[in-house]
Structure 1
């Protein structure tokens, strides 16, 4: 399958009164056509900053995409594009669903007009034609009474319907890539499942590649082909979805999987929580960023960054536990399994 997006050594910093916050510290990955790639990690790990960098939405200042970073879309570096190229790219070739639809949608504009606006810009249709297309898009994302709903405002939509409207706007111009930044945040579990099923169904119909940004591994299990686990501005483990779930190798991935609620546990069982806090990215640690929270940490973990170890053609991890001289540690998931 052909690569449609390649991110190489992406580094993004924010300059604050306290100093330089190194939000993303050398992230590399690629995305294939018609594929769903999930980037998973807790809040503050750099997931959303990475997605905004792909769209060239990092505000400068205070943000700064460092020299040596590359973001190649169909072989062309987005970071070197002129403004007119970027306007065609955003919405037309790469679209993004933001975290909170209520703040992303214009509260003073009717939903249909907001969808039509994007269609007019990128497809050159008249306002009447664009509005008719907007109604079609609302039908595609399964919003009932689309003709009536197109003439309503965001506050008249439920949370799940607002998210569907955001998906309609993002897909209105048939983009090659859809970046979904926490698309199910603040929605109840039933609506979450509906939104994920909708995205999967639309991908099958339209052939759009998806970058799914989330903190919840449970959300990605049935939709992503590959997963990248991100921590403290770095990718610490990457692999196919079944490899990450059946054979996770990084202690942080173990912690994420342990914190996913399971159906086979009792009501009174205590849900796992990871102790400690992520490192201060004003002064990133010289060694493994997870060392201070890891109960398997060795002296070397705090002194030197581990290199990426390939476990298979598709699975790799950055952890000193993979070193031949490291003690053998059994995954805490082996006892109960990661289901």
Structure 2
């Protein structure tokens, strides 16, 4: 498959009164045309910072800083070398983003139709009338009823699910090559979550857009992602296709994420799994594995040195000392296996 986005050794820091927070610490990955890549991890692991760095939406050079040596290439062009004019053309037209909270991302003083029209006027050179007609079509495409009337309403007149659909319409108005969806189902009830994910999948098929799905919920990505990469403390600790991550996970943190998802066969009085401890302080990141302090399988070497990347298969990699040839054998906890759904 052809790469559309290539990221190498991305490092992002934030300069605060307490010191330099190393939010993203040397991650590398790629995105192929038309595929869905899920970035999974708990709050604070660097998922959203990575997404915003791709579009250069971080407050640079202060307090955010993308470190020298980082590389972000879109269609062979360096995003980090683009000037403001190039970035304006990139954002919306080539790469669009659905932000986490639509209520704070939408402009409360502008109608929904006008907010969609803006990008069409800027990137596709449409007149105001043409842009509004196209905006109504986009609202209809994302299954908002009475789109011709809703286009002239304000964000506060929309429900949470409809605001999220409006955000998707804005993001897809110019038919971008990449859509970054940052927690697109946060604060929505389960039925609306399913509708939003189905909608993104349907639009992806129709438009051929590549998707980066940022989420903390593995349940959300199970049916939509092609590949999954698990982040922890600013690093990618495991990556693989959906079957490999769900049915053959290799990292203790991935095991913890899978065990924390409630199962349908859980009995009424069963205790739900909880991961103890807190993520490390990224002002002073640990020398060894960042998960060592919370890992029940931690060995001495885990605290002393970063684990090497172990290739499990052509599409599956993990960074864990348990995969070393000299590591002791352990009993892997029971995680979801094929046929047990």
TM-score of Structure 1 vs Structure 2, range by shorter chain = over 0.9
Look up the match of 2:211. 210
Aligned partners of 1:333, 1:176: CA distance in 2, in Å? Answer: 39
SS at match of 2:179: strand
State the Cα distance separating 1:262 from its structure 2 match. 1.3
In structure 1, the residue matched to 2:51 is: 51
Q: Would you say 1:251 and 2:252 are equivalent positions?
A: yes
What is the RMSD computed on CA atoms of the aligned residues? 1.1
Ranges in structure 2 where 5+ consecutive residues have no aligned partner? none
Counterpart in the other structure of 1:66: 67
Asked if the contact 2:258–2:335 (Cα under 8 Å) also holds between the matched residues in 1, the reply is no
Per-residue CA deviations over 1:165-221 (Å, capped at 9, x if unaligned) read 000000000000000000000001110000000000000100000000000000000
The 2-side partners of 1:261 and 1:217 are apart by: 11
- The aligned counterpart of 2:11 is 11
Name 1:301's counterpart in structure 2: 302
1:185 aligns with 2:186: yes
Whole-Å separation in 1 of the counterparts to 2:169 and 2:336: 43
Alpha-carbon separation, structure 2, partners of 1:301 and 1:186: 36
The TM-score normalised by the length of structure 1 is: 0.98
Distance change >3 Å, CA 67–CA 268, structure 1 → 2? same
Cα distance in 1, alignment partners of residues 88 and 13 from structure 2? 24
3-state DSSP of counterpart to 1:282:
coil
Hey, what's the Cα distance between the residues in 2 that align with 1:25 and 1:246?
A: 28
* Structure-2 change in CA distance of 1:316 and 1:290 (3 Å): same
Counterparts in 2 of 1:99 and 1:334: CA distance versus 1, 3 Å: closer
Structure 2 length as normaliser, TM-score? 0.98
Give secondary structure in 1 for the equivalent of 2:72. strand
Cα distance in structure 1, aligned partners of 2:271 and 2:35: 36
Q: 3-state DSSP class of the match of 2:333?
A: coil
Shift of 1:268: 2.4
Separation in 1, partners of 2:96, 2:283: 31
Give the direction of change, closer, same or farther, for the CA distance of 1:335–1:111 in structure 2 (3 Å limit). closer
Residue deviations 1:137-182 (CA, integer Å, cap 9, x gap): 0000000000010010000000000000000000000000000000
Structure 2 SS opposite 1:21: strand
Q: Give the structure 1 partner of residue 223 of structure 2.
A: 222
In structure 1, stretches of 5+ residues that fail to align are none
C-alpha displacement of 1:328: 1.1
- Further displaced range: 321-330 or 224-233: 321-330
Secondary structure, counterpart of 1:224 in structure 2: coil
1:73 and 1:277 map into 2 onto residues whose CA distance is: 35
Contact 2:97 2:180 in 1 (8 A): yes
